[in-house]
Amino acid sequence: SGRWSGAVQPIALSAALTLPALGLLFLPLLVALPSLYPWADSGQMAASELMQAKSGWLNVPFFVGRAVAYFAAWSLLALGLRRLSAQEAHGGKSGRGLAALGMILYVLTATFAAFDWMMSLEPAWFSSIYGLLFLAGQAVAGISLAVMGLAAAPPPGLPHSGGGETTVPSPLWGGPGWGALLQTFNDLGNLFLASVMIWAYFAFSQYLIIWSANIPEEAIWYVHRSGGGWQWVALGVIGLHFVLPFALLLSRRVKRSPRVLAGLLLCARAFDLYWLIVPAFYPEGVHFHWLYPLLLLGMGGGWAALFARQWSSKLLAAGRERQL
């Protein structure tokens, strides 16, 4: 495992343990399914032969069942990793085997969740790369969260890298481990660079394949997102999500202090999701409602509170173990 994995693990696990609560936030969507998804509206389903052909997959009972299965799988995986992490901290069995299997499970379930929850907003459209593009975006968001968490509260007892003690103080814990934390930031900066490049690769590959095929059922998705002002949103996503971070991450200095960039990329992720989702409802032109930022702040703030509670409990436990 990389040098950064031990520092990032508590943050990632704290975030994963919020998934059961996130399942509750999904419940209001189930009430509004006919308003959100054309295939869930009986009138639109009856008028479209294409949607009828997909009704074996796109139907309300199966959709709800899959959503329950996704959240159940993610929650059980998070709880299992927490148990093995606690055992490993006391010299018990390593959780690497479950983590490897869990990664495969998560990639599969998150891919189908992206198909169900986002791609099926426009059921006539399809793309085999869409799930991978969504996962690449999640990787960017996950690394951003790890960087911001480490910057706010680096874990105690981080091993010192290199000879001698650094004179740079830790913002919370102090001590020579701050030198290793700078190297951890550098490693995460390299992961940042790789993840934004992978995201750009998948995004461009999807566009190139659909553009070269020139099939109306596929091209309509980009038609909805390339006119009426949506093209400027797309350019903003490209700039914030790839061009700017790619240029900045070529600098070692930025890699070793990527906190501001992490915040920028989290904003870019929200901007990207806005471009992916909202044109499905307003293809005629850019649409903005005051509820968009309000819901983002409300739901994001609720999640952040749950995450902070999990994260702070792990910091306190680590501090007690260090004292012992």
Kindly state whether residue 6 falls inside one of the protein's structural domains: yes
How far apart CA 104 and CA 241 sit, in angstroms, is: 26
Task: Give the model confidence (pLDDT) of 211-252 as tens digits.
Answer: 999 999 899 999 999 999 999 999 999 999 999 999 999 998
- Residues 56 and 190 occupy one common structural domain: no
The answer on 100 and 160 residing in a single domain is no
Q: What is the mean pLDDT of residues 128-145?
A: 95
Q: How many Cα atoms are found within 13 Å in the side-chain-facing hemisphere of 295?
A: 9
> Is residue 116 domain-shared with residue 150, that is, in the same domain?
no
The two most distant CA atoms of the chain are separated, in Å, by 73
25 and 36 part of one domain: yes
Mean per-residue pLDDT of the chain: 86
Contact 148, 257 (CB under 8 A): no
In angstroms, rounded to a whole number, what is the distance separating the alpha carbons of residues 39 and 63? 11
pLDDT at residue number 138: 96
Predicted confidence (pLDDT) per residue in 26-82, tens digit: 888 888 999 999 999 999 999 999 899 999 999 999 999 999 999 999 999 999 988
User: So what's the pLDDT on residue 317?
Assistant: 52
pLDDT digits (tens, 9 = 90+) for 172-195: 334 445 567 778 888 899 999 999
Please indicate, yes or no, whether residues 155 and 57 belong to a single structural domain of this protein.
Answer: no
In this prediction, residue 253 carries a pLDDT of: 87
pLDDT category, 169, cuts 50, 70, 90?
very low
Put simply, whether the predicted model's pTM sits higher than 0.85 gets the answer yes
Q: How far apart (Å, rounded) are the C-alpha atoms in residues 196 and 284?
A: 29
Distance CA(18)–CA(118), nearest Å, equals 21
Residue 318 is assigned to a structural domain of this protein: no
Range of the domain at 145: 125-288
Are both 276 and 138 inside the same structural domain?
yes
Residues 156 and 283 in one domain: yes
Q: Are residues 120 and 175 in the same domain?
A: no
Measure the CA–CA gap between 267 and 261, rounded to whole angstroms. 10
* 226 domain residue, yes or no: yes
pLDDT for 267 equals 94
In a domain, 106, yes or no: yes
Claim to verify: residue 78 and residue 6 sit in the same structural domain: yes
Lowest mean pLDDT: which of 34-38, 191-195, 303-307, 309-313?
309-313
Last residue of a domain, one of 124, 159, 187: 124
Residues 68 and 211 in one domain: no
What one-character-per-residue DSSP string does 295-324 give?
HHHHHHHHHHHHHHHHHHHHHHHHHHHHH-
pLDDT for the residue numbered 160: 42
H-type alpha helices, 48-174: 49-53, 60-89, 96-117, 130-152
Q: How many domains does the chain have?
A: 2
Q: What separation in angstroms does the CA of 237 have from each of 113, 152, 243, 255?
A: 22, 27, 9, 21
The verdict on 132 and 244 lying in the same domain is: yes
Residue 155 confidence (pLDDT) = 59
* Secondary element (H or E) of residue 44: helix 42-47
Question: Where is the domain boundary, 98, 124, 150?
Answer: 124
Residues 44 and 168 in one domain: no
